[in-house]
Every structure is written in structure tokens, then in C-alpha cells.
Amino acid sequence: MSGRQDDSGTVLIVTRRLDDHMDLIEPELAARGTRVARLNTEQYVQDHTLVRFRADGGRASAVLQIDGEELAAGDVGAVLYRRLHIPTAPGVPEGPARELAESELRAALEGSLLSLDVHWLNHPHSMRLARHKLLQLTLATDEGLTVPDSLVTSDPAEIRSLFRSWNGRMIAKLVGGQVVARSVDEQHLVYTTLLEEADLLDDGALAACPAMYQRLVEKAFELRVTVVGDQLFTCHIDSQSAPDGTIDWRRASEVDLAAYELEPDAARMCLALTRRLGLQFAGIDLIVTPEGETVFLELNAAGTWAWVQDATGLPIAAAIADNLVAGAQRVLEQRLHASA
């Protein structure tokens, strides 16, 4: 690709300052001659980074100011939406006043972004929808994917009864997923856990909130499928060779990774699930059993993928850049057609 500037508009990246994925994405966009503006959202209302929204004369539009440079809504062709982090409201004492100020900061920034008529990877509304694991399981079964036997409940008696009926082969996991903290030091990571009978003795703990309980699925290996548009990039995870990663491979100190060719029916179903959720990008976790059956675990609309590319050489960053450039070009063509 040449380094010339194309005419499809700017790709806006919404993320945080510490995002190693952007070290892979930005050079790919630069190689395609694409103008890039990066909004590190923790700099919002700091470092000359602001938003303005104006409606007058029958027109409404947003203007972003990033590091002192203005970016008009009409100049943006595509948005790579990674994550939003609203900083502490400056100069506002802790308490209700700060909570209100930070709510207003979020409303102004989110509202301005949502007003952009652009190609999204992914749209914030689709990302929020995709966070719901129970919806994921429902849609996955609709599309023909096998899912683990599951129960979401906070009834201690029901949990213990299920544990016995599954002969103690039960795991517990979060219903809603991880909650992103303000800082790495405050982050609390909850792993998938194989339960023991002693874990189910405290009624108060079991009843405190619902959890997802699933029958343990025997694994030959695991897969991470990264979906970008109509392309799928599959990573083989040899979790069962890592003693500390057999239940949740993220616990493993080391695990072997390799590129993998996903079986066509599973690929079709993964792509269909991603489309049902309105996503251009997704990370999908699968198990392959010793009998060769593929089992869906969950989907992450903001899943990490740099580790997959680094380990396998799969060109995920290039696919994301191509998706953004093509989407921005379609938006430009639609605008030109509408103004003709």
C-alpha cells in the first residue's frame, strides 16, 4: 500500500492511552494512506481534548477537539470504538456533585460520538447488547451452536441439587462479565472456577447474587475465533497441556498457541452469531471435546487479539484496517450520493 492520503475521511480511534493493540492498528492504517485521529478518553476535558455539539439552522453536528486539533463530524468516515474511560471530574469535590459532573461528561462525549453517521467497528449500542451472556447463549443455540448445560440462579438449594445431579462436575462464572475498574490496581479479575462441595455450604454467599453454573465440558483443546467483518481468524489453545490452565487457560503461566482452520459449519455459525448481535468484530471462545464436538462458551465484543497475532502471525490488524477503510469509503459514497 502507498503512503498517500486517501479521500475516504478520517478514522477516529476511541480508546485509552495504554492500548497495545493500537501499536498494531495505526501502522496498518498509515500504510493505507488513511488519516487517523486518536481519542484517548482519559484525556477528555484535559490536554485540550473537548467535545462540542451544536444544533442550529436546521442542522446538528458534533465537533471533537483532540490535543487542540478540531475534528468535525463530517470529516469522520469510520470509528474504531475500543473502550470509553471517563476521567474524574476536575475541580469537583468527591460525592454527589462529582457523580453528577461525571455523568454529564459521559453524556456529552457519548452523545457526540453516537451522533456520528459513520461506519462503526463496533457500535457502542451493539457492544452493550453483546455483553449479555444469557442473550449470547440464546442466540448461539438459535444458530445451531452447542452450549454447555447451564443454570443462572441465586437459590442455594437449587445450586446444591444441580451440583449433585452433575456428580460434582460444575463450574461457576460471572453472568455479566468483568467490571472494568478505574485503574489496573483496582481491577478485580474473576476466573471460571471448578466448584467443590465445600464452596456451596454458605447460603448467604450463594444467595448474594446470581451466578452462572455450568456442567463441566471435557476439553481436547480450546479455540479463540476472532471475527473481523466476514473474515475469521482462529487460534488453537493447548489448554489441557498446561496444568494450571485446564479449567480457565488464562490462569496458565504458559500455553501453546497456533493458527487453526475452523470447521466450516462452526465458522458459519460463529459469523451468524456475530451478525445477530450487530457486530463487525468479536472474539469467540470455543471448546473442542475429545469426541470432536465444538461447544460455544462466550463472545466478547471488545476481545483482545494482539496476543493471537503475535503468537500465530494471523493478519488481524490488517483485516481491521481494511474493514475500517472500506467502511469509511462506503460512507463517503453515500454522502456524495445524498448531496448529488
Average pLDDT for runs of 10 along the chain of length 340:
59 94 96 95 83 88 91 95 84 89 91 95 96 97 98 97 96 78 51 90 95 95 97 96 81 89 97 98 97 97 96 98 97 85
Q: What is the CATH number of the domain that holds 80?
A: 3.40.50
Q: What angle do the packed helices 264-276 and 133-142 form, to 10 degrees?
A: 130
Gyration radius of the chain over CA positions: 22
Residue 172 counted as domain residue = yes
Q: What is the pLDDT of residue 266?
A: 98
Residue 198 counted as domain residue = yes
Greatest pairwise CA separation for the chain in angstroms: 71
Same domain, 62 and 134: no
Residue 314 counted as domain residue = no
Residue 327 counted as domain residue = yes
> What is the extent of the structural domain holding 41?
10-122+319-339
Same domain, 184 and 330: no
Same domain, 137 and 273: yes
Cβ-proximal residues to 157 (8 Å cutoff; 6+ apart), any chain: none
Q: Which three cell numbers stand for residue 131?
A: 455483553
Q: What is the pLDDT of residue 3?
A: 43
**Backbone φ and ψ of 279, nearest 5°:** -105, 145
Domains in the chain, number: 3
Q: What is the CATH number of the domain that holds 229?
A: 3.30.470.20
Same domain, 167 and 284: no
**What's the gap between Cα 112 and its chain centre?**
21
Residue 210 counted as domain residue = yes
Q: What is the DSSP string of 209-263?
A: S-EEEEEPPP-SEEEEEEEETTEEEEEEE-GGGSGGGSS-GGG-S---EEEE---
Same domain, 277 and 141: yes
Same domain, 167 and 128: no
Q: What is the pLDDT of residue 1?
A: 36
Same domain, 135 and 241: yes
Q: What is the pLDDT of residue 178?
A: 58
Same domain, 178 and 127: no
Same domain, 193 and 272: no
Q: What is the pLDDT of residue 6?
A: 58
Last residue of a domain, one of 216, 246, 261: 216
Q: What is the pLDDT of residue 5?
A: 54
Same domain, 41 and 95: yes
CA distance 267 to 156: 38
Same domain, 236 and 199: no
Q: Which of 138, 195, 193 is nearest to 162 (CA)?
A: 195
Q: What is the pLDDT of residue 295?
A: 98
